[in-house]
Amino acid sequence: MKERVPAGRIAAYGLLLALSLVLSYVEMLIPFTFGIPGAKLGLANLTTMTALYALGGRQALWIGLLRILLWGFTFGSPFTMLYSVCGFGLSLAGMTLLKKTGAFGITGVSAAGGVLHNLGQLICAAVLVKSPYVFTYFPALFAAGTAAGILIGLLGGQLVKRLQRPMQRLMDRSRIS
């Protein structure tokens, strides 16, 4: 027999998914690129960090993938979705492993996630254009990913600290009152 997902858990996932879409939209309105073409702050990654630390890796994966699909179909293209999935997949895998080691705090995990996200997108670009020369752009993206990851990690640490207990209570509820 299939286990029913508590309504509180669905509400927590929906809340983070909606927040990630709003943050993606806000970021689209802000012309902030670190002076490096293609570099972004990655505000939606606040929800990824919150989900990873408050809910777990599997939940962060589903929330992130749904965000990429919904954002891509609403404002993007198949290529933006492909690049996003490649960056997100490598980033989340690396962050999940680093979190499990316990050797890094949330800021270090987030900084690594920013770098891995950019690396995942470069790997995608190298495969699509069939050229390794795209990796010459990696030093600039390494710097941008590290800076953005540290900032998101600092903000995410505060967000996780404030939301972890309420999110857990929401998830434990069997129904919303």
The CATH number of whichever domain residue 88 belongs to comes to 1.10.1760.20
- From CA 139, how far away is CA 65, in angstroms rounded? 27
In a domain, 177, yes or no: no
Q: Is residue 161 part of a domain?
A: yes
Q: Cα separations (Å) of 15 from 85, 153, 170?
A: 21, 20, 11
Q: Report the pLDDT averaged over residues 73-88.
A: 94
The confidence score (pLDDT) of residue 177 equals 45
Number of folded domains in the chain?
A: 1
3-state SS class at 115 = helix
**Who has greater pLDDT, 164 or 54?**
54
What is the spatial distance between Cα 45 and Cα 118, in angstroms, rounded to a whole number? 13
Count Cβ atoms within 10 A of the Cβ of residue 96 and give its class: 0-12 exposed, 13-18 middle, 19 or more buried: middle
- Is there a domain that residue 27 lies in? yes
Q: CA-CA distance, 111 to 95, in Å (whole number)? A: 9
Give the model confidence (pLDDT) of 93-126 as tens digits: 999 999 999 999 999 999 999 999 999 999 999 9
Mean pLDDT of 55-63: 93
Question: Is residue 79 situated within a structural domain?
Answer: yes
Kindly tell me if the per-residue pLDDT of 23 is higher than 70.
yes
- Structural domain of residue 56, as residue ranges? 7-172
Query: Which pTM value belongs to this model?
Result: 0.88
Tokens coding 109: 């995990």
What mean pLDDT, rounded, does the chain reach? 89
pLDDT at 103: 94
